[in-house]
Structure 1
Amino acid sequence: MHNSVFIGEVMVELPMTQSDAVTLNVAGDTFNSAIYFKRVLEDSQVSYLTAIGTDSFSQRITRFAENEGVDTSLMLAHRHRLPGLYAVETDSRGERRFHYWRESSAAKDLMNLVINHKVSLRNVDLIYFSGITMAVLSATQRQMFLDFLIENKRQGTTIAFDPNYRPILWEGIEQAADWTRQAYALSDIVFPGVEDHAALYGHSSSQQIVAYLSPMSPKEIVLKDGANPVRVITQYEDTLVPVTQVSHVVDTTSAGDGFTAGYLACRAKQMSVKEAVEFAAQLAGTIIRHPGAIIPRHVMPCSLATTSSTTCI
């Protein structure tokens, strides 16, 4: 059984419609990816490492994860903090505007809890984290976090990273660029985005991004550029995979999270790079045709537990 651990912050989500109606959900970039990964690769073990509170909202988060089949034993309870909260407004084109209340989020104290609980991961095939995972931590805890990842990499765990740059979460662009570089340097599979690199490093082309990342020797570079073809570079190939356009976009929330989950699940299933990108892109295309970060299970494409091809989507 494939064993993966996703790390980050899960928050209470308040999606707002144009009629100002508000519902209560739970979401977070790596949490969304964990849910989609488990849905796609049903016969795998998926755990989520985070810090939450002991309140009713935290209990709602735990129940949601359990209902999705995600292991919650690594959701560490903070006695004095609550989960973060955010509201998201979506316009008629599916574009989003976020409003965050996360200054005292339990996830900001994650690494202290990891040490206090003596968390030790064993027999883990994959760890996935993002720039948001690091951004919510203090500088001291960020270094503790990277040391934690390095230790797991030494044990043979594959490390996957998506910068998912959110300027509002960082002290400044210099700090964001430096910590992102350090995360890239220790990761095996990386998901750079053209927009993120333009903002962080001033890169204006895929060639510049690849030239920046190549000396760090990641095993796979999955270069995303919106609706343009996805470029994947491994030791053996440099492949461009076209992405099918979606005509009716409802909500772009978590499209990238779903893409990452779909790609990693396919690669865990030992599918080719081309198959992985095609599956991931179609999953992302399904997600953006529905509202919310985590779409209903019944509209999901088939899982990889029942097929080894992408034709079922």
Structure 2
Amino acid sequence: MFLSIGEVLIDMITQSNSLENATVFQKFFGGSPSNIAINIARQGIESYILSTVGKDPFGKYIKDYLNEKNVKIDYLSEREDVYTDIVFVNKSESTPEFKAYRSASLKLSIPQDLNINKFKIIHISSWAISETKQLEKILNLVELAKEKGIKIGFDPNYRKVLWKNNYTIIEVLEKLGPYIDFIKPSLDDANNIFGERSLEDYVKYFKNFGIKNILFTLGKDGVLVYNKKYEIHLSTYATKVVDVTGAGDAVWSGFYTGIINDLEILESTKLGLAFAAEKLKYLGAIAPLSDWRKIREKYR
């Protein structure tokens, strides 16, 4: 019922404040689209990942990890001509320093046997459309999906250093925007896309792309929800913060879980905030989230 398209990778995280001076790294499973797929699978929803890994030890680790978490890997390609993506990150209380070594995520392919009819939502990360040929393939897929009434979510986690597309991110949003049902930018995302502007300007820019529902995440200040019906601020539910890693993925996961279970936009957003509040209590991107109904009742 849910398909997540984008990167799966290995995070190599150091305790050091500087990548340059780091000597010891710890390996973690990573990739926002795959974190979301795992969280949704935990809710008993059939959840698929469309991505690529190398035919190497890291790729095997990723496949085994996703299998263990009950994510369907029918559309996870394993190739000998690429290596599994690795991102080196320093542990930081603010925006971390990172260095990405990309190979597999630049070789995403749409499988011939992909049956999109069974999906209610397709989620796409900006990594997935950061290469020109991949963008063209995904645009074709999105056009077909919209004809069939499938909802499209897009994560605008754009960073210039990762962009390998002949089109600018603005040109891509102009092409993709009319098909997007849900977008969840952060202030960092918007700043990287548009430069330093006001929040009001950011919202106006995203609206101008024809995007139907905008969930603007503001960290500890919650979420602003915009569509044709309303503009409303929802406060965070978080009371305890152990680790912010994966909090944005948790918001997506709760939101999509709500939409799949026929909750309306505001209720789904509140469920996303509740998922994030639960995730923030744990170290790492993946938290042992309980059934969404229990979480919803807890934060009602």
TM bucket, shorter chain: 0.7 to 0.9
1:309 aligns with 2:299: no
Q: Which runs of 5+ in 1 are unaligned?
A: none
* 1:100 matched residue in structure 2: 100
Counterparts of 1:20 and 1:252, CA distance in 2: 24
Residue 308 of structure 1, CA deviation:
7.7
Residue 241 of structure 1, CA deviation:
0.6
Letter in 2 for 1:99: K
- After superposition, residues 1-313 of structure 1 pair within 5 angstroms as 3-18=1-16, 21-39=24-42, 41-42=43-44, 44-91=45-92, 93=93, 95-102=95-102, 105-111=103-109, 114=110, 117-135=112-130, 137=131, 139-171=132-164, 175-202=168-195, 204-244=197-237, 248=241, 250-295=242-287, 297=288, 300=289, 302-304=290-292, 306-307=293-294, 309-311=296-298
Counterparts of 2:291 and 2:226, CA distance in 1: 26
Aligned residues: 295
**Residue 271 of structure 1 contacts residue 308 of structure 1 at CA under 8 Å; is this kept in 2?**
no
Counterparts of 1:128 and 1:109, CA distance in 2: 18
Taking structure 2 as the reference length, the TM-score comes to 0.87
1:181–1:197 CA distance, 2 compared to 1 (3 A): farther
Partner SS, residue 149 of structure 1: helix
Taking structure 1 as the reference length, the TM-score comes to 0.83
Counterparts of 2:98 and 2:286, CA distance in 1: 16
Q: What does the per-residue CA deviation read over 1:178-206, in whole Å, with 9 as the maximum and x for residues that have no partner? A: 22333323211111223322332246233
Letter in 2 for 1:98: F
Name whichever of 219-228 and 255-264 sits farther off.
Answer: 219-228
**Residue 160 of structure 2 contacts residue 192 of structure 2 at CA under 8 Å; is this kept in 1?**
no
Percent of matched pairs sharing the same residue = 20
- Shift >6 Å, 4+ stretches: none
Residue 286 of structure 1, CA deviation:
3.6
Partner SS, residue 96 of structure 1: coil
Partner SS, residue 77 of structure 2: strand
**Residue 159 of structure 2 contacts residue 192 of structure 2 at CA under 8 Å; is this kept in 1?**
no
Counterparts of 2:295 and 2:100, CA distance in 1: 40
Q: What does the per-residue CA deviation read over 1:63-118, in whole Å, with 9 as the maximum and x for residues that have no partner? A: 11111111011101213222101122113x2642222221xx2221113xx26x45
Q: Which runs of 5+ in 2 are unaligned?
A: 17-21
